[in-house]
Structure 1
């Protein structure tokens, strides 16, 4: 039985003995059980009603986004494709064959590069590279967050405003949002240069820089959780958590009497706003209010 069906039967409590063994053997079984366990303890705020959790899980667990290959489009066709498709995947080819791809809020996409490397782009993110010079220089400019599966070959560089990541062939995730910079290695070895800091990451290593302050950490997943439609954080300022919530749900969040440097460990799934708000507010002791379909307010809970 495939993973999605296994999770669906687990949610509806229909697993056989053998199927339960298979579910418990999954690498992220404990993570799913923890989300369900904690959600069961949540109480809805006075402002909203919690949607059915099974619906939330079914929406959160989605198949991987299919790989899309880039093709040459004439200027007029490029404009037409943006207006018609509206997926937030833009193809801009300049005279030097520079390609730029970006996603909208609440959107993800996967791109295949000329050497068969792939890039999974998270919401409100952008990459650009020179197709004409790719064989000579494998270099990607990144703003936002992306997961890279790099084909073996010459050096592969990911350049951000906060630092550069260099590899030969591996799997790694890079996130750069303002002065927040994070690199996680999932396969092979990764070299990170951020200002005066130079770090070599191996499988399971994390490098995080927040406003220039470097923190080293570990990850236990085989791939970034956002590629499975779950945003996960380990001791990250709540301001960055809220910013990610805005990107994934295309909403505007305001806060009242909340310390922006308050650290958060946990996660929220993409696909059900009510459950995402609960997953953030309950561990931090916050209230939330949905003011409009695209506007939310967090406030400190009265003791």
Structure 2
């Protein structure tokens, strides 16, 4: 009996005793039995044709071919992996040229830039700049308020959400808060652009946009007062004044029976909350109430 006919009868379970002995003597008898045992785990018909079995057998043998595993214990591979990990850490943490600096409530900070320009950062403010190409492009982004003393050199740009200030070497203050953008020039010349409004400011000039309205003014001071822990305002809505109080003292201010658009001219200190509240409320003929360590209630009428 030929081999293929013998396998066909074995698949159909039609072998007699002598044929079973002949089948067991085949070189691949054990392989054939393993194939059928593994095939029982598949959800398929248990009926096999001879040509299907031969195809399945060839596929089975190809799947049994061992896969060569990568030996990570190889010293060269270990060295390469260490180098790759090291490069990843370097580029992730040390090659980032952006520097981000921010202040907390009631905090001020002095930053010296790569060209020795100086930035005084007011409370709840931040700057971000690129150290890699600073000599070629003196540019930073500001959120909040800062006073700049710029060393002479190439153009120096300060970008805010409300506008851009461009100088060469000068001293100026930029304040960008919600619906409020202000630039004060203390020395040199400052170019300010916000939307379609562009102006060149000389020492003593101010540029202000409040709730979309542009105004210019004059100042006599040589530096902003907040550097010396004093906030000052001229014809500013009282809600903006109390917003600054919140930034300097980490308090929450609420209003009762008061027009928050009333204009305030004056200032307050940064080192004594009660003195600051008195300095704001007395000139406006309003009162305050400290209901807890961080809540201030402003009343429109005396209580």
Asked if TM exceeds 0.5, the reply is yes
1:302 to partner: Cα distance: 4.5
Please give the secondary structure, in 2, of the residue aligned with 1:267. Answer: strand
- For residue 152 of structure 1, what is the aligned residue in structure 2? 152
Cα separation, 2, equivalents of 1:132 and 1:302: 57
Cα separation, 1, equivalents of 2:271 and 2:175: 21
- For residue 266 of structure 1, what is the aligned residue in structure 2? 266
> Contact (CA 8 Å) 1:230, 1:270: kept in 2 or not?
yes
Unaligned runs of 5+ in 2: 1-88
Cα separation, 2, equivalents of 1:115 and 1:147: 16
Q: Within 5 A, what are the aligned runs for 1:269-288?
A: 269-288=269-288
Unaligned runs of 5+ in 1: 1-75, 77-91
Residue 189 (1) aligns with residue 189 (2): yes
- For residue 122 of structure 2, what is the aligned residue in structure 1? 122
1:96 to partner: Cα distance: 3.5
Q: Within 5 A, what are the aligned runs for 1:214-229?
A: 214-229=214-229
Residue 161 (1) aligns with residue 171 (2): no
> Contact (CA 8 Å) 1:93, 1:100: kept in 2 or not?
no
Question: Structure 1 residues 191 and 94 mapped into 2: Cα distance closer, same or farther (>3 Å)?
Answer: farther
- For residue 198 of structure 1, what is the aligned residue in structure 2? 198
CA-based RMSD of the aligned residues comes to 1.6
1:194 to partner: Cα distance: 0.6
CA deviation string 1:100-136 (max 9, x = no partner): 0000000001000000000000000000000001111
Q: Within 5 A, what are the aligned runs for 1:133-144?
A: 133-144=133-144
Cα separation, 2, equivalents of 1:249 and 1:171: 27
Question: Structure 1 residues 301 and 94 mapped into 2: Cα distance closer, same or farther (>3 Å)?
Answer: farther
- For residue 59 of structure 1, what is the aligned residue in structure 2? none
- For residue 299 of structure 1, what is the aligned residue in structure 2? 299
TM-score by length of 1: 0.68
Question: Structure 1 residues 163 and 300 mapped into 2: Cα distance closer, same or farther (>3 Å)?
Answer: same
TM-score by length of 2: 0.68
Cα separation, 2, equivalents of 1:266 and 1:302: 21
Residue 251 (1) aligns with residue 246 (2): no
1:94 to partner: Cα distance: 6.8
Count the aligned residue pairs.
213
> Contact (CA 8 Å) 2:257, 2:301: kept in 1 or not?
no
1:252 to partner: Cα distance: 0.6
Question: Structure 1 residues 243 and 93 mapped into 2: Cα distance closer, same or farther (>3 Å)?
Answer: farther
Please give the secondary structure, in 2, of the residue aligned with 1:221. Answer: coil
Question: Structure 1 residues 94 and 289 mapped into 2: Cα distance closer, same or farther (>3 Å)?
Answer: farther
Cα separation, 2, equivalents of 1:285 and 1:176: 29
Cα separation, 2, equivalents of 1:158 and 1:173: 10
Cα separation, 1, equivalents of 2:205 and 2:94: 37
1:219 to partner: Cα distance: 1.2
- For residue 208 of structure 1, what is the aligned residue in structure 2? 208
CA deviation string 1:232-268 (max 9, x = no partner): 0011111110000000001111111211211110000
Cα separation, 2, equivalents of 1:235 and 1:93: 47
- For residue 67 of structure 2, what is the aligned residue in structure 1? none
Please give the secondary structure, in 2, of the residue aligned with 1:206. Answer: strand
- For residue 64 of structure 1, what is the aligned residue in structure 2? none
Please give the secondary structure, in 2, of the residue aligned with 1:216. Answer: strand
1:95 to partner: Cα distance: 3.7
- For residue 111 of structure 1, what is the aligned residue in structure 2? 111
Please give the secondary structure, in 1, of the residue aligned with 2:234. Answer: strand
Greater Cα radius of gyration, structure 1 or 2: 2
Question: Structure 1 residues 302 and 166 mapped into 2: Cα distance closer, same or farther (>3 Å)?
Answer: same
Cα separation, 1, equivalents of 2:220 and 2:103: 27
